[in-house]
Structure 1
């Protein structure tokens, strides 16, 4: 039927085309330098100052402080969400005093 094994799949000969790589001899088109030159001065300006141990330590410390504060923020949001879901579940439960649950639910800040 004209199927050829190529790698782990079978392809039809018409889909493969010419098995010889004709375009290997063609020259590539020149690429455009859209972003501009990338120099060491630009890298140093982006990083801050230099690659000293103090600057790397300071950057890692700043990242760890930012990560810890973000973790605490996400944890508190999840904890508040858990409390709200628990209060709603208790409101739906028919055996629970509704006035107590309403006061707890409205005490939460949205």
Structure 2
């Protein structure tokens, strides 16, 4: 099954040659989740009470490429990316099916 997802971090070029995403970082896998707790007791409004929503970190897996040493250097030095970073998931099997875009801030 085909999988297309890309990450763009200003100042860290990747090696992807895919049309429209040249020099982005190509991803092999990613994980992103959200959860919200709910109690079993109903409220006077008729529904179960719910807690606060929790969002996980965006975890990515990528092949070793020219972005790898720059990403390691940034992580080891504690660098924060306050400028534009973008994550794009184009979907499975068919290009541009189920496009999911995130604009990441203060990485």
Q: Looking at CA atoms only, which structure, 1 or 2, has the larger radius of gyration?
A: 1
Specify if TM > 0.5.
no
Task: Tell which has more relative contact order, 1 or 2 (C-alpha 8 A, sep 6+).
Answer: 2
Q: Kindly indicate which of the two structures has a greater share of residues assigned to helix.
A: 1
> TM-score normalized by structure 1?
0.15
**TM-score normalised per structure 2:** 0.15
